[in-house]
Amino acid sequence: MHLSRTFEYPQELQSKFNSVKKIEWITLLYFSSASILMAIVMGNSQTMKTAWIEDAISIIPPLSFLIISRIYKRKPDKNLPYGYHRVAGISFLISAVALTFIGFFLLIDSSFKLLKVEHPTINTMMISGHQVWMGYIMIAVLIYSTVPSIILGLKKLPLAKEIADKAVYTDAVMNKADWLSGIAGMCGIAGIGIGWWWMDSVAAIVISADILHDGISNLKQSVLDLMNQLPKTMDKKEPDPVFDRIKKETEKEDWVKKAEVRFRQEGHVYFGEIFIVASDHANLNHKTEELRKKLTSIDWRIFDLTIMVVEEL
């Protein structure tokens, strides 16, 4: 049985990959600490409960990345001849399902709290002989759980594009957009302080809707990836232009009359086929092998390429 080769990042991207690992370790430790602080101060506020769960599930993407980064480099074997690339897609799917389920649950839970007209209270506590309203501490914790998240997201975005890691890119976009949840949470706590009890549940609904939106969006994309959708750019707006370039480079060959390409994404890399109608059938084995080497050198993501000569397209 012919096995695919073992995946390794190109030398020039290895440092980028190591940087992503370092940032994901920081992200994991940061969200763990934020979750602990949220659990300590949340009281009976629905806003803080929702923000706490959001921070808790934010641990999943960096943890998944750190685990799968040790798996997808394994050598292909007779049971998995294409390698372990799709473990990244499976991890992406699991995270998306978790986000969707938790977002839906929190949205329903927060809505019921609003309909039941529950009036949350925020107590005071003694700190260094002074009576301090816990709402101030909650807002401070919300700031702690928001600002570093945005910074981490901005740092991860360009690196995720360079190493072609869709899960890290999605995680970075979510981190960068965390300001919405942070502001909603602070408004909810402030609302309780001025007597607008309903602000607590409304803020929780906003945060829940944000989680649910991310979950549904990621779930849709992860399912399309597993269905071998034509790989698109990181922002999902258009097909990756590398495929058009490969087709044009193929049709430049003087022995090629016409060509079509077909690609699918396996984790970080592309597997694909090129179908060629040849105008000259002499030395086809040599020509197709030279063409394969030329095309795979265009982009490191072109990992496994099959060239087939056919009678017609």
- pTM of the prediction? 0.83
pLDDT higher than threshold 90 for residue 261: yes
Mean pLDDT of 161-173: 85
Q: Dump pLDDT digits (tens) for 53-64.
A: 888 888 888 888
pLDDT number for residue 182? 83
Mean confidence (pLDDT) of the chain: 86
- Residue 293 vs residue 85, higher pLDDT: 293
Q: Dump pLDDT digits (tens) for 104-122.
A: 888 888 888 888 777 777 7
pLDDT higher than threshold 70 for residue 190: yes
Q: How many residues does the chain have?
A: 313
Q: Name, in order, each residue with C-beta under 8 angstroms of 76's C-beta and a sequence gap of 6 or more.
A: 3, 4, 5, 6, 82, 83, 84
Mean pLDDT of 245-258: 93
pLDDT number for residue 23? 94
Residue in this structure with the two tokens 């009890």, named with its chain if needed = 197
Confidence band for 158, pLDDT divided at 50, 70 and 90: very high
Q: How far is CA 88 from CA 17, 85, 160, 265, in A?
A: 15, 6, 13, 11
Confidence band for 33, pLDDT divided at 50, 70 and 90: very high
Report the share of the chain in percent with pLDDT over 70. Answer: 99
Report the share of the chain in percent with pLDDT over 90. Answer: 29
When mean pLDDT is compared over 2-6, 66-70, 90-94, the highest value belongs to 66-70
Strand partners, 307: 274
Angle at 112 between CA 109 and CA 118, to 5 degrees: 110
pLDDT number for residue 308? 93
Task: Please say whether the beta carbons of 310 and 257 come within 8 A.
Answer: no
Buried b (16+ CB within 10 A) or exposed e, 234-266: beeeeebebbeebeeebeebebbeebebebebb
* Spatial separation of the C-alpha atoms in residues 139 and 145, rounded to whole Å: 10
Confidence band for 1, pLDDT divided at 50, 70 and 90: low
